[in-house]
Structure 1
């Protein structure tokens, strides 16, 4: 590509703030959140309208320039980091951050709207957006859709795909797909929205979304529960699901993960007087006229304790106490990173297989790779486990990318595949798992993914080097 000719082609359609060439301004966006991947981009494009994105896509196709869409740069798999050879440029959607419309049942928002902003605006409208995760203060809704993000409320509301009611996106040839009108029934063939959700920016650029909102919570409460084994947690989950439909989150946390949070995150403390090997964080909600959630949890957990499932529990009786418990859960990623190198895996398993994987299979990994420590935490209600294998004490910072680190990940992924699971539950494939997807992905799935990529991106400009070739 010739950068000068590409930029010259853009200038008639883009305002000056949309084109950034200063290296110091570009640098913060060239490295992923975990610091594992770094790329090169000679220019940072920051469009503010769909028309500007259309002009960028047209120029990129004409000049053979790859485009790497980026929102909050919170990808856990290097999905928003440009290639190291400078063959692509960053396309930031952060300036497209307007909320075009909001009502109690829906919001039409641009791709650069930050999740926390959407939460606040929905609350002001008497509603809420039913997806939450630790990166809420920086993750953007466009990135959440591109990766089909999950988070802690999937148990009741589903992943990001379930929240998308329509979208605006720029496709190859500068064509604009617009389904923001919100038709509940549209049987004109395959859903383009569903193709783009989870495609990680490899099929087009999402510029705006029509998102589902649900009624605002009148009251919420959380409980931190101590257990002796993850199988008890699964039994407890089934018991609660049978007793009520008001459980919104059910997070499984080993003692090792809580210990790391207490060591590295200021102003945190253990919720229980005595540590137990496993913990569950559960949240319940209430609408007007319903039993208060704290009372509901107290009653249901008392029954579970009598049945031998619960060893200890602490119930939050205020929103501040609930937030304190959630801070422990949301701080795990930060604490894990501070603890030192680890091979990190975002896996999905059949729910009934999770306890065995976290005990018997974790022990098998530690035997196979002496000196490592294997543990997992996450969303037991939907089978999503964040499974980390800590490096031996003598390992260097880049251990996860070393020969042994890669061997560990391959072994973990082999175990997951043998259990009929997925090597990516909610973080996506990006560049981190691209080779592993090619190695372990079902042939039919890979064939379809590659065929869709060739059809929708014939020039190969959308997020090159990610997901599939």
Structure 2
């Protein structure tokens, strides 16, 4: 069945508490129903927020005042960045306060010598990318929602995206944090250090914690030299196995200069061309497609020559059926958009059941083959909208309703399809959440896949840091 929110029974917020909150945070408390609306929307429409209060602090000190008051009154708090999450992690009920970081959006500093940026949690990802670019640097995190998602949200969810193969996910990109703790204290861990072996790695408690241990208010993140040369191609492939062989070939031949390697099923490209203004650059259909990108920051580089010779070698080995190489950065961007447009196209194509799984890269073909066979047997006529960041093992194993089935009837099979796909991913040494997180969507299911020791340690950490369970309760743990 379609996932539903399972909020704990929390009474509505007391009017006296709300008035006290307004008194200590003048101009930073929203209670008007019209103004609240944008904070209550959930990206996939799976859950409904019923919060009556949103606070929009302008600094960590202001947020700390609110957290101390909430702690005093045992009022739970739910953090929210750009509200683009896909697992219901920013959904709040009537007894909880939404904490929005929208006013804390500054890029405080770009350091092109240390290759670091200091930003506030509400900074839009694209703004950070542009600020780094202006200093001939690169912040490599790249997501479809980068025009609206925030750095704080990226940290809370340990965001991945297209560049993980080369640069790592948000955990690897984060050097230091400023965090408001559950009792209102502020931990200042804003160290711009690549090496710091002076104790437990506290920052890693908060990266990927979905705001369940504290609220990130600022961060120091890694930058890289801006690429001077970029080569992009869109290739038709005979199989998933060919995709992995092509990836391995490109990594070896280029000295590991592969920045992105994105896989798309035939149905994925078909709906992109049908439901967006994108057109396929290739004349014939194929079972699979890959968008591959290489980049280099060296002033003089033979990247184009390496790329072309790699593709020629792949053609001879029958790994590629057809390919187009971008002749400019603009054309390369359009090739990337074919892959980036897939989630939006799937929305328009009908009901969808989505899986954000990861398996070892070498296990991707067997996962897709076995999952597809089992799902097709369970529901004949289902469409396989499979795509993802194959270079790091992250497969968005998405499914679109059969042509003869209504959206509502299809979504009623959500749990049953999960029970086919998720155990298979786990049996191959994988995960049921590669980059989207747990939130409300997977919080009940994930417990069945954690060992007692792992679940116990997670609960012990939560209890030690947030004993009153006020920070984003009901999520992840």
TM-score w.r.t. the length of structure 1 is 0.95
- Where in structure 2 are the equivalents of 1:93-104 lying within 5 Å? 93-104=101-112
Alpha-carbon distance change, 198 to 306 in structure 1, aligned in 2, over 3 angstroms = same
Question: 2:211 pairs with 201, 216, 230, which one?
Answer: 201
Alpha-carbon distance change, 401 to 438 in structure 1, aligned in 2, over 3 angstroms = farther
- Where in structure 2 are the equivalents of 1:111-260 lying within 5 Å? 111-244=121-254, 245-260=256-271
Contact 1:410–1:436 (Cα < 8 Å) also in 2:
no
By how many angstroms is 1:20 displaced? 0.7
By how many angstroms is 1:464 displaced? 1.6
Alpha-carbon distance change, 60 to 400 in structure 1, aligned in 2, over 3 angstroms = farther
2:461 equivalent to 1:461: no
Q: Which moved more, 1:150-159 or 1:358-367?
A: 358-367
Question: 2:98 pairs with 76, 87, 90, which one?
Answer: 90
SS at match of 2:355: strand
Runs of 4+ deviating beyond 6 Å: none
Residues in 1 aligned to 2:418 and 2:224: alpha-carbon distance in whole angstroms: 38
Question: 1:360 pairs with 370, 377, 385, which one?
Answer: 370
2:383 equivalent to 1:391: no
Contact 1:10–1:55 (Cα < 8 Å) also in 2:
no
Residues in 2 aligned to 1:89 and 1:294: alpha-carbon distance in whole angstroms: 53
Contact 1:264–1:335 (Cα < 8 Å) also in 2:
yes
What does the per-residue CA deviation read over 1:390-430, in whole Å, with 9 as the maximum and x for residues that have no partner? 2333444345652x221111221111111111000000001
**Which structure 2 residue ranges, 5 or more long, are not aligned?**
1-10
Contact 2:260–2:391 (Cα < 8 Å) also in 1:
yes
Q: Which residue of 1 aligns with 2:461?
A: 452
Q: Which residue of 2 aligns with 1:5?
A: 16
Q: Which residue of 2 aligns with 1:418?
A: 427
What does the per-residue CA deviation read over 1:81-131, in whole Å, with 9 as the maximum and x for residues that have no partner? 113xx1212110011001111111011000000011111100001101011
What does the per-residue CA deviation read over 1:245-289, in whole Å, with 9 as the maximum and x for residues that have no partner? 2111011111110111101112x1111121111111011113344
By how many angstroms is 1:29 displaced? 1.8
What does the per-residue CA deviation read over 1:366-405, in whole Å, with 9 as the maximum and x for residues that have no partner? 1023342334210111000001122333444345652x22
Q: Which residue of 2 aligns with 1:381?
A: 391
Question: 2:55 pairs with 45, 48, 68, which one?
Answer: 45
Contact 2:371–2:420 (Cα < 8 Å) also in 1:
no
Residues in 2 aligned to 1:80 and 1:248: alpha-carbon distance in whole angstroms: 31
By how many angstroms is 1:459 displaced? 1.4
Contact 1:251–1:281 (Cα < 8 Å) also in 2:
yes
TM-score w.r.t. the length of structure 2 is 0.94
Contact 2:253–2:306 (Cα < 8 Å) also in 1:
no
By how many angstroms is 1:193 displaced? 0.5
